[in-house]
Amino acid sequence: MRLYSGFALLKAGFNGQKNWQSLWRSPEPKPAYDAIIIGAGGHGLGAAYYLAKQHGIRNIAVLEKGWVGGGNTGRNTTIIRSNYLFNESAALYDHAVKLWENLSQTLNYNVMFSQRGVMMLAHNVHDVQVFKRHVHANRCNGVDNEWLSAEQAKVFCPPLNISANMRYPILGAALQRRGGTARHDAVAWGYARAADDLGVDIIENCEVIGIRRDATGAVEAVETSRGLIRTKKLGVSASGHTSVVLGMAGVRLPLESYPLQALVSEPVKPVFPCVVMSNTIHAYISQSDKGELVIGAGTDAYTSYTQRGGLHISSHTLEAICELFPMFRRMRMLRNWGGIVDVTPDRSPIIAKTPVPGLYVNCGWGTGGFKATPGAAHLLAWTMAKDEPHTINAPYTIERFRDGYLIDEAAAAAVAH
């Protein structure tokens, strides 16, 4: 792999930037691999990278129906934070944030991880109680999160409207300074390049159409649009399509796939210094390095695989944005798009073994999978390599639903009285 650096770029400038190589090869699939991962998003590519890098498995393929990073990796609003309430969640997401902090250097690819701070707004007494509970729990779990008054929140984010005349005035905010954003495409490309360098075959335009199991019931091979490929270790990291893929192995999961939208404004000069989220009035916003305001909307009410949501959903989000930042009414929507998010009943992911030997799954990230990318990838790789979960993902089993050990962040945050 040719090292990326300012110097290399400078050198290449003198010969017209001609000598750069492909970030990853486009190999034909081999007849068999030691491990296969379905889904070339950040999670899947990252898992391949960590399998190769940390677990010594080099004969790996990542199969992708479309193109690298074309799913939710390239469709999200890139928010990264770890100020979750429960011990299990804080451990999981902070594991990811710690990996994010060195990811550009690890991959020798600038993923533009920007710790600009994620601020979550409290609009009523209940919000204040919930966020303070988060702040306390986070501190005790070694995760940074601090409580700000409305005035302090305004200092941190000057465009914020903290007037008492708002329908839901801002009573304060929880700020995680280590939170922020990253360049989503770069994460996929960076992992792809690094994994390819370790010998991982990234095979695009290769749709999985069946999973074959041997007499014992264990995974034996995958049938793909590019032929049969044998493997005894199969990891599925296919976000919205996970239940479709797992269905091929006869595994039923507690997942439903919903459309999730996001949008950007036209680019403007720096005006928005951080990430702001408001769960109560359903909006989140940041500004990309290019200058676009990046705005997330909620999911639609119904399941769908169309990768598009209703206009009323994005309208509702823009209502909230314009209420929080009334100077943005004249800003204009440049692009709107949708992804398919797979949601579990407790809104927490599954990173686990399945009842089928040799079959592993990483799914159920709902609306928040991007922030976990390196963590999820690392844990999926660990679980596949050792055939047992890491202590961090041990609670994130499929069986927790049967036994009632839910990790319900959403319920903990969203119940109003």
Partner 1 sequence: MLLIKCPYCGERSELEFSYGGQAHIVRPLIPSDITDEALTEYLYHRDNIKGVQAERWRHLHGCGRFFNAVRDTTTDHFQATYKIGEAQPASGAKSDG
Partner 2 sequence: MGNAFRNKDGKYIDYTQILRFTFDGKIYQGYKGDTLASALLANGVHLLGRSFKYHRPRGIVAAGADEPNALVTVQRDHARTTPNVKATQVELYEGLIAESQNRWPNLRFDVGALNTLISNFIPAGFYYKTFMWPRQAWGKFYEPFIRGVAGLGVAPTEADPDRYSQRFAHCDVLVVGAGRAGLAAAMEAAEKGLRVLICDEQNMFGGSLLSNADVQSTESLLQTMEKLHQYSKVTCLKRTIAFGYFPHNMIGLCERLTEHLPNPAKGDVRERLWQVRARHVILATGALERPLVFPGNDRPGVMLAGAARTYLNRYGVLPGKNIACVVGHDNGYLAALELQQAGATIAVIADVRTKPVGRYIEQARQAGLPIRSGMTVTGTGGYRRVRNISVAPIVNGNIDASDTIRCDTVLMTGGYTPSVHLFSQSRGKLEWKSEQNAYIPSQSTENLSSVGSAAGLAGNDRGVIGALPMTNKSTAFVDWQNDVTVKDIDLATREGFHSIEHIKRYTTSGMATDQGKTSNINTLGIVSNILQKPVPEIGLTTFRMPYTPVSFGIFAGFARGDLFDPVRTTPMHSWAIEQNAVFEDVSLWKRARYFPRNSESMNEAVARECLAVRASCGLFDASTLGKIEVVGPDAAEFLNRMYINAWSKLTVGKCRYGVLCREDGFVMDDGVVGRLATDRFHLTTTTGGAARVLAMMEDYLQTEWQDLQVWLTSTTEQWAVIAVQGPRARDIIAPLISGIDISAHAFPHMSIGEGTIHGITMRLMRVSFTGELGYEINVPADHGRAIWEAIYEAGQAHGITPYGTEAMHVLRAEKGYVIIGQETDGTATPDDVGLSWAIGKAKPDYVGKRALIRQAMQAPTRKQLVGLLTLDDQVVLEEGAQICATAANTPPMQLIGHVTSSYYSATLGRSIALAMVAGGRTCYGKTLYVLMPSAAIPVTLTAPVFYDEKGEQVNG
| Tokens matching residue 277 | 């989220």
**Which of 83, 314, 354, 367: binder of partner 2 (CB under 8 A)?**
314
Residue with tokens 């949008």: 263
Q: Which does 93 bind (CB under 5 to 8 A by kind): partner 2, partner 1, none?
A: none
| Beta carbon nearer to partner 1, 90 or 350 | 350
Rounded (10°) angle between helices 42-54 and 184-197: 30
Among 134, 233, 378, 390, binds partner 2 (CB under 8 A): 134
Q: Strand, helix or coil at 125?
A: helix
Binding of partner 1 by 312 (CB under 8 A): yes
Binding of partner 1 at residue 345 (CB under 8 A)?
yes
303 binds, among partner 1, partner 2, none (CB under 5 to 8 A by kind): partner 1
Tokens of 128: 């204040």
Build a one-symbol-per-residue string for 344-373: x at contacts with partner 2 by CB under 8 A, - elsewhere.
Answer: -x----------------------------
Is residue 256 part of the contact set for partner 1 (CB under 8 A)? yes
- In the bound state with partner 2, the residue whose beta carbon lies nearer, of 4 and 357, is 4
Residue 269 interacting entry, from partner 1, partner 2, none, C-beta within 5 to 8 Å by type: partner 2
What is the C-alpha separation between 392 and 364, in angstroms, rounded? 16
Q: Which of 13-21, 129-137, 239-247, 322-330 is the region at the interface with partner 1 (rule: CB under 8 A)?
A: 239-247
| Contacts with partner 1, 355-384, as mask; x by CB under 8 A | ------------------------------
Please state, in angstroms and rounded to a whole number, the distance separating the CA atoms of residues 417 and 146: 24
Q: Taking CB under 8 A as the rule, which mask of x and - marks residues 256-275 in contact with partner 2?
A: ---------xxxxxxx----
14 HSE (CA, 13 A, CB side): 4
Tell me if 220 contacts partner 2 by CB under 8 A: no
Distance (Å) of CA 185 to CA 95, 188, 309: 21, 5, 22
Residue type, 144: D
Question: At residue 402, what is the residue type?
Answer: R
> Within 13 Å and on the Cβ side, how many CA atoms surround 137?
19
Q: How many residues does the chain have?
A: 417
CA distances from 49 to 52, 74, 180, 262, 374 (A): 5, 19, 24, 29, 10
Minimum CB separation of residue 373 from partner 1 in Å reads 23
- Applying CB under 8 A, among 32, 154, 220, 291 the residue interacting with partner 2 is 291
Q: Which of residues 95-154 bind partner 1 (CB under 8 A)?
A: none
